[in-house]
Structure 1
Amino acid sequence: MKADLIVRDGVVFTGTDDPKPGGVAVRNGRIVGVGDVKGFDSPRTETIDADGGLITPGFIDAHVHPLSGGLKLAHCSLYDATTAQEALELVGAYAKARQGAEWIWGGGWSMEWFPRGTPSAEALDQVTGDRPALLYNKDGHGAWVNTAALRRAHISATTGDPNDGRIERLDDGRPQGTLHEGAMDLVSELLPKFTRTDWEAALLAGQKYLFSCGITGWQDADVQPAQEEAYIALAGRGELKASVVGALWWERDQALEQIDALLGRRARFAPGYRPTSVKLMLDGIVENYTAALLEPYRDYEGNETENTGIDFIDGTLLKEIVRILDRLGFQCHFHTLGSRAVRHALDALDALPAPRRRSHHLAHLQVVDRADVHRFAEVGAIANCQALWACREPQMTDLTLPFLGPTSADNQYPFAGLARAGATLAMGSDWPVSTANVYEQIDVAVTRTHREYRERPPLDLVQSLTLTQALNGFTNGSAQVNRVEHEVGRIKVGMEADLAIADRNPFVGGSIADTKITHTIIGGTVVFSTS
C-alpha cells in the first residue's frame, strides 16, 4: 500500500513517556503506518520532513471561543498591551481611526493593570470622548465602559445590581466604569448587532489562528444562535475544516422552558459541526467575588467576609436541568470555577443513573475542595483544565490569593490530584481569555510557572503534570470530551490523520513553551504550514 502523505524523520508521540523516532504514513485521510514508513513511499507521495520534531495527534481544544476571539481581533484589540497606559493609547488610536463608528468596542485588558482590578470610566473618557465604549477584559467576566455608555444604558447610583452580576461603584454609589458578569448585559445589549458576514469572518479568523497552534478540533464553549448560523454556513461551503462540537448557551434567566429551543438547534448539525453540548454557567470568577466558594472571601485588608460568591443556577434546579439534558442525550459542559460550583455540578451528576454518566465535563476548576477530587472518577466527570492559569502571574498574586481563604488558596487547579484519583483530564485554552498556544499551556501544566515569571515560586508543584499527561489531555482526553476518541486523539493505524508537527522534541529538554508548530494536518490535508 502506498501513501498519499508521509511525515518522516520525526519523533512520534503515541501516548506514552517514550516517543519513538520515525514517521506517519497517510492514505485516504487515515493513518496506515506509524514508525518505519519507508515502504509506503511512491513517486506521487507528498512528504513532510519533521526534522526531528515531535509528531502528535492534532490537538483538540476542549473549551474555546473562536468566534468572539476572531471578532475581537478585528476590533479594538488590547491583547498586545501590557499596562493601562498602553491600553488607553490603543483605544485612542482605534477611536481616531474609526471616527464614523457609533461604538468603540473590543477587549483584552487585564485586571492587574488597575487598582483593585477595576478601571474607571473617567480614564476611558479621555480617549473616547462622547462615543460609547465597551471593552471586555481578557477573561470575559468584566467590562470597562465610559460615561457615554453608562449614560446610554441609564446606569446611575440608583440602578440596582442584577442577580448574576455587580456594578462597581464609587464611594457615593455612582458607577465607577467596571461592570461584572451579568451587569455587562446592561450595556452590551445596546451594541449594534453583528451581521452574519461579521460572524463568518470571525470564525474564519479564529479557525486560522487555532490551526497555527496545531489545533484540529474544538468544543466551542458558548454558541449563540447567530454564531451557529456562521458554523452552518461555513460547513455548507466546505470552509469549516475543523471538527467542532458546539456547546449551546443555557440562558440563566430562563428555566426548563428553553429545552425545546435547544432540541431544535441540535437538529441543525452540519458536516464538521455537531451542537450536542449545553453550556451551564454555574458561577463567575474569584477576582470579582462571583466564583461560588465553600469558604468566605477575604476583603482588601485580609479580613474574612460573609461573601461566598454567586450561584448563577440554584443547586436544586441544576439537578433537574442535568437530569433532563442527560435523558435527552445532551452533554453538560459546566463552568465551575469555585469549589461550591464544582460540588453542585458533581452532585447533579451523582444523581444520574450510573450507566448514563459519560463525557459530561467541568471546566476551569480553579478551587476544588479536597473531598471532591475523587468524585470526578466516581461520577464519570471529565476534568476540563485551563492549564495556563495555574501559576503565580500578576493576576494570581495581586487579585486572587489575597482574597481567598487559606483552604481555597491551597486547593487551586489540582490537576495531578485529579489524575491520581482516576479522573480523565482534558485541556482547553479558553481563548481569547488566554492564548491558544498549546505548548505554552503545557509548559505551565508541567512546571506550574509561567515563562515570563520563572523567578516566582511554582503554584503548588505537587499538582504538576508530566509532559505525557498534558499531551494526552490535549489529544485523547479532549477527544473524549467531544466523543470522538475512536476516530482521533491517537496516532495509530486506522485513526483519522489529524496531526500536529512541532519544530523540536520537548521530551529531550529545554523550555516546553519554546516549542513551535510547523504543520497542522486534518484528514491528511495540510491546513497550516510555516514553510
Structure 2
Amino acid sequence: MNDSITHYRNGKIFTAADDGWAESIVVEDHKLRFVGETVYADILAPDAEVIDLQGAVVLPGFVDAHTHLVMMGFALQKLDLRDATDLADIQSSIKQFAESNPDAPRLLGRSWLFSALDGGHPTREMIDAVVPDRPVYLDANDVHSVWVNTAALRELGIDADTPDPIGGRIGRDPDTGEATGMLYETAMMLYVWPKLAELASDEDRDAALALAFRHYLEDGVTGAVDMALGADELASLERALDAGDGTLPLRVAAHWLMTREDNEADNVRQVHDVIELHERVQGPWLRIAGIKIIIDGVIDSCTAAMKEPYSDGTNAEPIWDLESLIPVVTAADAAGLQIAMHAIGDEASEIGLTALEYAIAANGDIPRRHRMEHLESITRDNVERLARLGIIASMQPVHADPAIQENWQAMLGDYRVNRAYPWPEFTEAGAVLALGSDAPTAPHPPLPNMFIATTRRSAIDPSLAPNLPGYALPLADALAHATRDAAYSCRWEDVTGQLVRGKAADFVVLKQDPFTEGVDSLLTTEIAMTVVAGSVRYDSARATNTEAVNTEAR
C-alpha cells in the first residue's frame, strides 16, 4: 500500500465544476491527482489506500466567505438569547445564567432580537432588575449594538458627559442625557470591544480560535474569510500557525478592520499599515487579503443608511461618507488590496459603488477583486452597477431566515421588504455571488444555511412561511456559491473551492444525500468527514478532531 496516495471511491461527488459529478477522488501529496470515474481511478492508482464512500455525497469543502473567527469562538461561550421571545424570557435566561456562573466577574450574552421587546427600547434597568451587581454585556443578534446594565456602564466609564464617537451613538434619556444602556455601532466598537479585549488573555483568545476551528471542521468548513481582523486576532492566528508547524486546521484569508477617524491622513495611514501586513502575511494557510470598511449599520436598529427614511421617519447617516471613503478606497485599490465594504442599506451600497468607480478611474486597468458585504437592501440599478464593475456580492442566507425578520421588515415597513436579500438578481446581472454566514451574528453551520438559500424558509422554525420564495436558489447553485464562488471571493480559485485535478484535496462527506432526499434533509444531515489538504481533520466515526483539539489544548 502506498500511504501517500488515497483513493476515495464509489461516491456521489459534486465537483462544483463544469463536469458536475464524479465517482472517485485520488489524493496524492495534499492535492487531487484524479477526479472522475472509478474504473479509471482503479487503473491510475492500483496500490492506493482505498476508502469506500458507499455512495455518500461528497462536496468541495465549504468556504465561509464572511466570518469572524475569534469573535465566533468567544460567542460560542456566551449566553445565547436568540430563542428568547419576550423581555421576561430574556430576564429569566440572564438570571439563570448568573446563578449558574456565580464566580464570573461579568456576564456575556448574545443574539437577542429587537422583536422580543415588542417595540420597546432596551434599558439598563431591565437588566439591573435581575443582575444589579455585575457588569452584563449582551450583543444584539446582528452584533452592531450591545445592551448593557448600569454596572457595565460604570465599568466602561460611560456617563452623560461621554461623547458619541464618529459613526456611533450612546443611547440616552431625552430628558436627563444619562446613558440608557444601549451602545450603537462605533460606540460599541470603541468602548465595549477594547474593554473586553483588555480583560481577555492571549490564552482566552487562542482557546476561542481553537473552538471556532473545531466547530467549523465538524460542520464541513475547510476555509474561512475573517472580516474584522485586528492586532489581537492576527497574533492569535499566528500563534496557531506556529504551533501547527506552518499550517492551520483550515485555510484563513483575512481583512483588516478599518477605524473611521476624523481626518483623511489618519484614515489613509491605516491603509499603508495594512499594505505592510499584506506583504508580510501571505502564506498558503494564512494571508491578509485586504481591508474591511463598515460603511453603515444594520436595519434592525435603524443604523443602516437608507435612501428613504425608516417606518418611524428616522434615517441614519453612514459611518463612512463618500468624502471620507474615496481616499481610503483609492489608496487600497492602487496597492492591490482587496476592499470589502459592509453595505446593508441601499444608500450605503450607492456610496460604496461610487467610491469604487472613482478609484477605478483614478488607478486605471490593474488587477482587482473587490467585494460588498450583505447588500440586504439595494436598488436594481445598483445591482447592475455592481455587476458591471466586477464587484463580488458577498451575502449570507442566514440573515434572511424568516424567524428573525419581524423587526427587520417592520423597520422598513414598505415596498422595500419585497426586494430583501435578492440573491438571484446579482447572478442574473452577471456578478459573482459568494455565500457565507457572518458568524457569530448568525449560526455558522453551512448546511442549514444552504437550506435557507434553497427554500427561503427558516432553519430555526421551518414551519414559518418562506421569506420571498421567488429569490430561492437551486441546490447546486447554492452549493457552488458557498464553495467555488466563496473561494473566488478571496482569490483562492486556483487552490480550492472545486474538486478538480490539481487543486487542494479539501472536501466534505455527508451522511445523507440532499439531492435525492430533498432539501429539507439539509436540516438533519450530518458531516461524516472533513478533509483539508488531504488530511482527515474530522471523522464522525472516530468522533475526534485531532488538529483542533491539539490547538485548543495550548
Return the TM-score normalized by structure 2.
0.88
Task: Assess if the C-alpha contact under 8 Å between 2:329 and 2:356 holds in 1.
Answer: yes
Structure 1 residues 293-332: aligned runs within 5 Å: 293-299=306-312, 305=313, 307-332=314-339
Instruction: Report the 3-state secondary structure (helix = DSSP H, G, I; strand = E; otherwise coil) of the residue aligned with 2:419.
Output: coil
Instruction: Map residues 460-475 of structure 1 onto 2, 5 A cutoff.
Output: 460-475=468-483
Distance 1:16 1:157, change over 3 A: same
C-alpha change, 1:187 and 1:216, in structure 2 (3 Å) is: closer
For residues 112-146 of structure 1, what are the alpha-carbon distances to aligned partners after superposition, in whole Å with 9 as ceiling and x for unaligned?
Answer: 22233643322322332322221212221111111
User: Which position in structure 1 is the counterpart of 2:531?
Assistant: 521
Task: Give 1:79 deviation, angstroms.
Answer: 5.6
Paired residue for 2:550? none
Is the partner of 2:63 in helix, strand or coil?
strand
After superposition, the C-alpha distances for 1:423-448 in whole angstroms (9 at most, x for unaligned) are 00111101111111112111111111
Give secondary structure in 2 for the equivalent of 1:350: helix
Pick from 405, 408, 420 the counterpart of residue 396 of structure 1. Answer: 405
Q: For residues 346-376 of structure 1, what are the alpha-carbon distances to aligned partners after superposition, in whole Å with 9 as ceiling and x for unaligned? A: 1122220463363211111100111111112
Closer/same/farther in 2, CA of residues 17 and 451 from structure 1, 3 Å limit? farther
Structure 1 window deviating more from structure 2 (266-275 vs 319-328): it is 266-275
Deviation at 1:262, TM superposition (A): 1.9
1:39 maps to what in 2? 43
Equivalent residue, structure 2, for 1:370:
380
Would you say 1:228 and 2:234 are equivalent positions?
yes
- Do 2:22 and 2:35's aligned partners in 1 also have CA atoms closer than 8 Å? no
Please say which of residues 255-264 and 520-529 is displaced more in the overlay: 255-264
For 1:6, give the aligned amino acid. H
Residue type of the alignment partner of 1:295: E
What CA distance in whole angstroms lies between the structure 1 residues aligned with 2:425 and 2:157? 48
Query: In the alignment, is residue 201 of structure 1 matched against residue 207 of structure 2?
Result: yes
Corresponding position: 1:105 with 2:95: no
Distance in 2 separating the partners of 1:446 and 1:455: 15
Matches within 5 A, 1:234-313: 234-238=240-244, 240-253=248-261, 254-269=266-281, 270=283, 272-299=285-312, 305=313, 307-313=314-320
Of 164, 167, 170, the residue aligned with 1:164 is: 167
1:88-131 alpha-carbon deviations (Å, 9 max, x no partner) = 34433443454444332342323222233643322322332322
Give how far 1:58 is off.
0.8
Structure 2 counterpart of 1:190, one-letter code: K
What letter is aligned with 1:132?
P
Aligned to 1:338: 345
Q: Does 1:175 align with 2:184?
A: no
Residue 484 of structure 1 is matched in structure 2 by 492
Picking from 454, 477, 483, the partner of 1:446 is 454
Q: Deviations over 1:402-460 (max 9, x none)?
A: 22153422221111011101000111101111111112111111111114444444322
What residue identity is the alignment partner of 2:228?
A: D
Deviation at 1:226, TM superposition (A): 0.8
Asked if 1 retains the 8 angstrom alpha-carbon contact of 2:346 and 2:377, the reply is yes
Aligned to 2:30: 29
- CA-based RMSD of the aligned residues comes to 2.5
Q: Given that residues 442 and 513 in structure 1 are in contact (C-alpha distance below 8 angstroms), is that contact kept between their aligned partners in structure 2? A: no
Amino acid at match of 1:197: E
- 2:9 touches 2:50 (CA, 8 Å); kept in 1? no
Q: Residues 260 and 358 of structure 1: is their aligned pair in 2 closer, same or farther, counting only changes over 3 Å?
A: closer
Partner in structure 1 of residue 371 of structure 2: 361
AA in 2 matched with 1:183: A
Q: Distance in 2 between matches of 1:493 and 1:482?
A: 20
| AA partner of residue 182 (structure 1) | T
State TM-score, norm by structure 1.
0.91
Amino acid at match of 2:339: C
Within 2, Cα distance between the matches of 1:211 and 1:256?
37
Which secondary structure does the structure 2 equivalent of 1:280 belong to? strand
CA distance in 2: counterparts of 1:82 and 1:214, whole angstroms = 31
Residue pair 1:295, 1:407 contacting (<8 A) in 2 also? no
| Cα distance per residue 1:323-366 (max 9 Å; x no partner) | 11011121101111111111111112222046336321111110
Distance in 1 (CA, whole Å) between partners of 2:120 and 2:64 is 28
Aligned match of 1:148? 151
Match of 1:302 in 2: none
Per-residue deviation, residues 205-250 of structure 1 (Å, max 9, x unmatched) = 1111111121111110001101100111111121622111111010
Distance verdict in 2 for CA 1:491–1:190, change over 3 Å: closer
From 183, 190, 195, the equivalent of 2:195 is 190
Any stretches of 5+ residues in structure 1 without a counterpart? 300-304
Matched residue type, 2:113: S
Whether the 8 Å CA contact 2:86–2:118 is kept in 1: the answer is no
For 1:291, the aligned partner's letter is: A
Write the deviation string for residues 40-88 of structure 1: whole angstroms up to 9, x where unpaired. 55566151x4333321111111100110111222344546756654543
Q: Distance in 2 between matches of 1:82 and 1:527?
A: 38
SS at 2:365's partner residue?
helix
Shift of 1:24: 1.3
The one-letter amino acid paired with 1:317 is S
Name which of 432, 436, 442 aligns with 2:444.
Answer: 436
Residue equivalent to 1:382: 392
Partner of 2:289, secondary structure, is: strand
Structure 1 pair 182–293 and aligned structure 2 pair: CA distance change class (3 A): same
Task: Judge conservation of contact 1:236–1:271 (CA < 8 Å) in 2.
Answer: no
Letter matched to residue 384 of structure 2: H
CA distance in 2, matches of 1:86, 1:336: 32
Cα 1:229–1:314 change in 2 (3 A) is same
**Is the 1:169–1:176 contact (alpha carbons within 8 Å) kept by the matching residues of 2?**
yes
How far apart in 1 are the matches of 2:375 and 2:115?
A: 21
How far 1:187 moved relative to its partner? 4.1
Query: Are the counterparts in 2 of residues 427 and 473 from structure 1 also a CA contact under 8 Å?
Result: yes
| In 2, Cα distance between equivalents of 1:150 and 1:203 | 28
Distance 1:355 1:50 in 2: 47
Task: Give me the identity figure in percent.
Answer: 29
SS in 2 for 1:206: helix
Unpaired stretches in structure 2, ≥5 consecutive residues = 542-554
